[in-house]
């Protein structure tokens, strides 16, 4: 889990709110498990059947969770990890005095 801090968790949930962002992240995690995980924008777009502009926008929102490099004019990204889980915990009930 990235954090147990409520504000950070809320930020993470907002970052992943769009389904395309979750699909991008899942594809990058799969690629990371299969090998070094580097994919360029067109590869991700083709794998998800999405427009490159949509993927580029999603990558911007997911930037804190990704590594990036540029080679020969191509922007490559990969996930920083090989598994994604989002865990929510309810606060313990407090008794009123």
Whole-structure pTM value: 0.69
Q: Kindly state whether residue 95 falls inside one of the protein's structural domains.
A: no
> Domain for residue 65, yes or no?
yes
Domain count, the chain: 1
Rounded Cα distance between 78 and 58, Å, is 13
Instruction: Provide the residue range defining the domain that includes 53.
Output: 6-79
If you search the block for the tokens 């990058």, which residue do you land on? 28
What mean pLDDT do residues 50-63 have? 90
Here the CATH number for the domain that contains residue 48 is 1.10.10.10
Residue 86 within a domain: no
Cβ-proximal residues to 72 (8 Å cutoff; 6+ apart), any chain: none
> Cβ(46)–Cβ(33) under 8 Å?
no
Instruction: Please give the average per-residue pLDDT across 22-45, as a whole number.
Output: 92
Report yes or no on 93 lying in a domain: no
Q: Which of the residue ranges 4-8, 17-21, 51-55, 79-83 would you say has the lowest mean pLDDT?
A: 17-21
């Amino acid at each position: 889990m990235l954090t147990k801090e409520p504000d950070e968790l809320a930020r993470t949930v907002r970052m992943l709110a769009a389904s395309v962002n979750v699909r991008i992240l899942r594809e990058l995690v799969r690629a990371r498990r299969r090998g070094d995980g580097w994919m360029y924008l067109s590869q991700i777009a083709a794998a998800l059947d999405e427009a490159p502009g949509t993927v580029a926008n999603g990558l911007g929102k997911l930037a804190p969770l990704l590594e990036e490099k540029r080679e020969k004019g191509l922007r490559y990204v990969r996930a920083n990890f090989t598994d994604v889980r989002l865990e929510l915990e309810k606060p313990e009930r407090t008794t009123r005095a």
